[in-house]
Amino acid sequence: MSILVVGSVAFDSVETPFGQVENVLGGSATYFATSASFFTDVNLVAVVGDDFPEEHLEFLRSRNIDLRGLTRTSGKTFHWKGKYGYDLNEAQTLETHLNVFESFRPEIPPEYADAEYLILANIDPDLQLEVLNQVKTPRVVACDTMNFWIASKSESLKKVIQRADFFIINEGEARQLSGESNLVKAARKILDFGAKTLIIKRGEYGVLMFRSSVFAAPAYPLEEVFDPTGAGDTFAGGFMGYLASTGDLSDDGLRRAIVFGSVMASFNVEDFSLNRLKSLQHREIEERYRNFKNLTHFQGLPLSK
């Protein structure tokens, strides 16, 4: 089953303690689509400028990502520049140039309107609502956001949350949106806003999923982390990609999807941009999934007398 993703395709310039890159492929929709493509077909809606190179388009097509919804328009492509210190959980934004993304108004091609799995990546919540009104009857809707939209358009965001099956944010955003410092209290408050399932990304500390039950998955322990840019979107891509490939929305199915998302994010941070995902093989994904299971498995207590 294919997934429809609406978000940004961009250039990133990133500096970490372990190196730096300039004008590499990035964007929320790019990371999501590439990650999800390891599990299922992906349809992408985004905008790029006339400076966007053909080699990037060829890479996306090579991943069986349908680009009929990708618009090329006159101007420059969205460009983000950021820097990380040794605390790789937090990026310092140095420059943001929206360029053609500033006037982005997503139009869903007729071929995509019957999408059963929809991910609304980090864009204006008013635009997310417009997309929801263009897609007929999606079986599963997931959405992401950021601190800027929480501060400036919280009411629109809450309308999106009420229509989403999965609301995916990081822990700082969860605290900001809820006004609660404790993550459990924050989660309960956001669920009260109408979220059916809340997924909180915690960077190197893993992931928490809140619904009728709570599930926690650790981050995979790595010796080398080069660039965390796009890790959250890569997580969401693995999570939704697995769900779309299986159709299993049971509690066990969601837990497996969380781990697959964590697996994909763990590969993403091993190199800059999408370089690690470009060389990634399915056998590596399966092996790391098994390692995750061993990492978290423990025996129950024996029956007391």
37 sits in which H/E element: none
* Helix, strand or coil, per DSSP, at residue 113: coil
* Rounded (10°) angle between helices 231-246 and 251-268: 140
Q: Which two tokens stand for residue 168?
A: 């995916």
Instruction: Give the integer Cα–Cα distance in Å for 297 and 260.
Output: 16
Residue 66 catalytic? Answer: no
Catalytic residue of the set 233, 248, 251, 271: 233
Nearest to 146 by CA among 174, 122, 129: 122
How distant, in Å, are the alpha carbons of 20, 29, 111, 190, 297 from that of 230?
Answer: 15, 9, 28, 24, 28
Cα-to-chain-centroid distance, residue 218: 17
Are residues 242 and 260 in contact, defined by beta-carbon separation less than 8 angstroms?
Answer: yes
* Helix, strand or coil, per DSSP, at residue 118: strand
Active site residues: 233
